[in-house]
Amino acid sequence: MEALRTGVSALSSFEPEETKGPQTSLEGALRLTAVLPTLVSTFHRLRQGEPPVSPRPELNHASNLLYMM
């Protein structure tokens, strides 16, 4: 959990300064949802001594998570 929390905190540095309002909150939530599988799989692979795998654009959200693991 610590690695996930740290990864999400690091991602906040890439967010626009102005993040007020429901539309910007929704957009931020969608970006976070999109990047979480990459964070989780990268952390898992590095702990296993394996190199990270980049997501494939033709795969859906769940398939990409399984592919990258």
pLDDT tens, residue by residue, 25-62: 788 888 888 889 999 999 999 999 999 999 999 999 89
The confidence score (pLDDT) of residue 17 equals 67
In a domain, 17, yes or no: no
pTM over 0.85: no
Three-state SS for 8-25 is: HHHHHHHCCCCCCCHHHH
Q: Identify the domain containing residue 35 by its residue range.
A: 22-69
Domain count, the chain: 1
pLDDT at res. 64: 92
Per-residue pLDDT for 22 more than 80? no
- The answer to whether position 41 is within a domain reads yes
Q: 10 lies in a domain?
A: no
**Is residue 4 assigned to a domain?**
no
Task: Classify residue 8: in a domain, yes or no.
Answer: no
For residue 5, tell me if it sits in a domain.
no
Other Cβ atoms within 10 Å of 37 Cβ, number:
19
Q: Kindly indicate the confidence band of residue 18, based on its pLDDT and cuts at 50, 70 and 90.
A: low
